[in-house]
Amino acid sequence: MLNLPKLTVVGAGPGDPELITIKAVNTLKSAQVVLYDALINRELLEYAPQAEHIFVGKRKDKHRYSQDEINELIVEYASERGHVVRLKGGDPFVFGRGSEEINYAKSKGIDTGIVSGITSSIAVPANVGIPLTQRGTSESFWVITGTTTQRKLSDDVRLAAQSTATVVILMGMGKLNEIVEIFSRCGKEDIPVGVIQNGTTVNEKSGFGTIKTIEKIVAEKQLTAPAIIVIGEVVKERNELKAVFEQVNSLPQD
């Protein structure tokens, strides 16, 4: 019996294999084909042992498939095999092109579903003790792409730099110098900055400083993409929370 064609776009979470939803796991168990991205944890594919696993990931200047080709693969496999799961890092609707794939599949008459994921823009800072909002410090936050489809830094960074909000920049490591210049021109050389590479995974690395010092720190620690840049006074909270943890751990045990 031929399974009915269906696409489900699933968020895999930020990298830690335990940070995936129960609904996502159950969806993977029902897949005939899993098309997965570069940033997903490969351990998650074990939830779909019955499915064919196909890598369609994109990294900087290394695209195995274009987005148009991925769209066609979704339709092809759904029509031939049935349920296709498109497994994407973080949340598929936060710079994940999830809506593009859903809309294309719908245009071809394919049934679609969506399973949200834990976005790295929130989970990765939280994992190192950085809250994106903090009473008396930050009332809001921006999540901005560091590289647009034109391969340029988003103009929203300039707007965000003029605010008091926490600024989270994804895919921005190649534009770090430009980001630093923008914040410096706004008189924010001393604002705290954190850069977290491979957040929530066993390969996590991070560096912390200010707009004035962060480029040197990134070079010293050899931080590279994929990484998240967090800019704002809330970055200081990491050190305060760390001090609390160290104080608690130093207490005598019964």
Residues acting as catalytic residues = 37, 58, 171
- Residue 220 Rama label (left phi>0; alpha psi -120 to 50; beta): alpha
Closest CA relative to residue 91, chosen from 69, 72, 118:
118
Strands 111-115 and 141-145: unpaired
DSSP code string of the chain: -PPPPEEEEEE-BSS-TTSS-HHHHHHHHT-SEEEE-TTS-GGGGGG-TTSEEEE--EETTEESS-HHHHHHHHHHHHHHHSEEEEEESB-TTSSS-HHHHHHHHHHTT-EEEEE----HHHHHHHHTT--S-BTTTBS-EEEEESS-TTSS--THHHHHHTSSSEEEEES-GGGHHHHHHHHHHTT-TTSEEEEEESTTSTT-EEEEEETTTHHHHHHHHT--SSEEEEESGGGHHHHHHHHHHHHHHTSPP-
**Number of other residues whose CB lies within 10 A of the CB of residue 215:** 16
Token pair recorded at residue 129: 């003790």
